[in-house]
């Protein structure tokens, strides 16, 4: 892999600020960090909440509000910006990048967005995490897909008056607590120090964090059997350790660490959530981080370009030195794994792309593979379960969002694809087994029908029937079966599909002369196709035998034939080749 070393403006998703980071790449994980094999962790129906080993847990914001979710509330917090109790629902005020799939939520969990509708004409709806049924539903999904639980995100700014706690924040906590009990999941606090500014005093920082922790311990919250513990101590993740932020420096935070690690009633298993370049801090800063029991460097938005493919790849080049330093100090290293991201606020307007495209799960899978290769990682923080504001979410998202605004979608993948994918990655990390080089599960539902829309022409791949002279053409979007295809995964260590026509029951195949034909649905390499998702939301459809890609052949005319052409390898050659790109459209 060829890597570009560039200075990039990296979006800090948790702080909503920009930080210029010089990325220094280490191509392979230091062999010294792989001598100790990952300890396999047994998985049961009820998550073992007594240890952090083998835990794949997702960050959980729970901050979405809808009017009426609490008595007298008119809030649309984190759904529409600046519209706490207003009546203006316009795309420019939208706070979401993607829209949750609301099809499984009960009527009592849905709030209608005035004047907004889904493509089928039905009213657009949104959920609130103040509803215990909704949080329970999320935890039921975690159980189904093999995710151990959540890190409940709370901002330290909410702790400044312990005598008057934020009631909506407490409600989310109680909902999480009850859902974890009901589903056998676990949970722990993730406290975000972003709200501490340069003027925050040592006393304010100390009193805020320690006061809240004492309240939670005294109230028995951390004694809950579903609250995560390790070595008999409740786990606490404090996020926001940055070398340049005054409030996270040793003169502010060493006293906090002293208290939280002192033997006694309030002692915890303390994890430091830091920026990825935390080792650029002063020796005292680094020493403070190594006093804690765990380290979680943030990776959301940390990207690096592969010059061979032109793709943005996850930047994990600092992991080896992080692991080595943690090992030397007896600290547990837990990476942050994410599916991609986009800046908070309205989604990018095409042709603009997300800041870090997901590439149909490949961005996420690459991080799981890197973690697996270290031989020492069996726990990870997945960012995030529900943060549809910044495009990191793994919860169920619809491919058919409201029509009143532009949204990112899962590009035709099932709404549960990223839940399934995280569960699959978790299985390998926990077991210590080597991970497959390519994703072993299909993003699509083999029982559903899809359309394949060419980016250059806007026309659909169409089957004219068994007797047509040119059976495969591009045609205007219509309701006929000739434009509908099954995408059936044929994973054998390599990610190939067969593409089956609803009209004829035959499969797309390559003939000996490189023409495109349809053949009977029997095993054949000629009928295997790789769908190469390149970050544009579309894919190139490449034949296994010929290595050539389907193209609209430069014609914008309906009913013109679809052909195979050589698949360009250089990124620059692909920039203007929308004739090779096909968007998977869920029917």
| pLDDT single digits (tens) 305-362 | 999 999 999 999 999 999 999 999 999 999 999 999 987 656 777 778 899 999 999 9
Token code pair at residue 464: 């004219």
Compute how many other C-beta atoms are within 10 angstroms of the C-beta atom of residue 529.
25
pLDDT of residue 40: 63
pLDDT digits (tens, 9 = 90+) for 7-47: 333 333 333 333 333 333 333 333 333 344 556 665 568 99
pLDDT at 65 over 80: yes
Cβ-contact 112, 124 below 8 angstroms: yes
From the list 536, 14, 521, the residue with the least C-alpha distance to 238 is: 14
pLDDT of residue 356: 94
**How far apart, in whole angstroms, are the C-alpha atoms of residue 585 and residue 587?**
6
pLDDT digits (tens, 9 = 90+) for 233-253: 999 999 999 999 999 999 999
Whole-prediction pTM value?
0.91
From the list 487, 452, 480, the residue with the least C-alpha distance to 464 is: 480
pLDDT at 148 over 50: yes
Q: DSSP per residue over 199-253, as a string? A: T--HHHHHHHHHHHHHHHHHTTGGGSTTB-EETTEEEEEEEEE-TT-GGGSHHHH
Strands, E, within 275-389: which ranges?
Answer: 294-297, 303-306, 312-314, 332-333, 336-338, 380-383
Structural domains of the chain sorted by starting position, each given as residue range(s) with its CATH number in brackets:
3-431 (3.20.20.80), 450-586 (2.80.10.50)
């Amino acid at each position: 892999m060829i890597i570009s070393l560039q200075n990039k403006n990296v979006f800090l998703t948790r702080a909503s600020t920009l930080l210029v980071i010089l990325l220094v790449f280490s191509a392979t994980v230091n062999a010294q960090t792989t001598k100790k094999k990952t300890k396999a962790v047994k998985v049961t129906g009820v998550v073992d909440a007594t240890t952090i080993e083998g835990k794949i847990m997702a960050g959980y914001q729970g901050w979405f509000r809808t009017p009426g979710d609490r008595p007298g509330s008119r809030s649309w917090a984190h759904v529409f910006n600046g519209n706490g109790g207003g009546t203006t629902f316009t795309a420019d005020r939208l706070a979401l990048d993607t829209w949750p799939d609301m099809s499984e939520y009960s009527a009592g969990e849905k709030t209608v967005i005035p004047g907004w509708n889904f493509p089928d004409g039905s009213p657009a709806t949104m959920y609130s995490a103040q509803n215990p049924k909704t949080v329970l539903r999320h935890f039921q999904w975690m159980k189904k897909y093999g995710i151990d639980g959540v890190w409940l995100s709370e901002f330290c700014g909410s702790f400044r008056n312990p005598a008057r706690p934020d009631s909506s924040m407490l409600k989310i906590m109680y909902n999480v607590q009850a859902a974890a009990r009901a589903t056998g999941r676990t949970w722990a606090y993730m406290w975000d120090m972003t709200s501490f500014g340069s003027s925050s005093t040592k006393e304010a920082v100390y009193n805020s964090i320690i006061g809240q922790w004492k309240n939670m311990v005294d109230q028995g919250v951390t004694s809950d059997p579903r609250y995560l513990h390790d070595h008999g101590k409740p786990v606490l993740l404090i996020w926001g350790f940055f070398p340049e932020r005054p409030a996270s420096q040793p003169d502010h935070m060493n006293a906090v660490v002293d208290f939280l690690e002192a033997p006694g009633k309030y002692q915890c298993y303390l994890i430091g959530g830091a920026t990825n370049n935390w080792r650029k801090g002063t020796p005292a800063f680094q020493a403070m981080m190594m006093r804690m029991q765990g380290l979680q460097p943030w990776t959301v938005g940390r990207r690096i370009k592969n010059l061979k493919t032109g793709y943005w790849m996850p930047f994990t080049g600092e992991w080896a030195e992080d692991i080595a330093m943690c090992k030397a100090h007896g600290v547990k290293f837990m990476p942050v794994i994410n599916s991609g991201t986009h800046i908070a606020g309205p989604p990018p307007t095409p042709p603009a792309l997300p800041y870090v495209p997901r590439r149909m799960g490949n961005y996420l899978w690459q991080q799981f593979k890197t973690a697996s290769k270290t031989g020492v990682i069996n726990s990870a923080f997945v960012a995030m379960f529900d943060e549809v504001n910044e495009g990191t979410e793994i919860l169920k998202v619809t491919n058919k969002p409201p029509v009143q605004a532009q949204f990112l979608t899962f590009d035709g993948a099932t709404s549960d694809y990223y839940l399934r994918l995280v569960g699959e990655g978790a299985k390998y990390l926990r077991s210590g087994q080597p991970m497959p080089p390519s994703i072993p599960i299909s993003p699509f539902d083999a029982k559903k029908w899809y359309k394949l829309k060419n980016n250059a022409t806007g026309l659909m791949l169409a089957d004219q029937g068994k007797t047509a002279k040119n059976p495969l053409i591009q045609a205007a979007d219509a309701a006929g079966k000739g434009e509908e295809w099954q995408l059936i995964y044929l994973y054998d260590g390599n990610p190939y599909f067969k593409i089956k026509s609803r009209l004829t029951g035959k499969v797309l195949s390559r003939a000996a002369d490189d023409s495109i034909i349809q053949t009977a649905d029997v095993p054949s390499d000629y009928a295997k196709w790789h769908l190469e998702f390149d970050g544009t939301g579309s894919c190139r459809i490449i034949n296994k035998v010929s290595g050539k890609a389907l193209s609209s052949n430069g014609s914008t005319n309906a009913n013109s034939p679809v052909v195979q052409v050589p698949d360009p390898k250089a990124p620059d050659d692909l920039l203007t080749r929308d004739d090779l790109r096909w968007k998977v459209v869920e029917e």
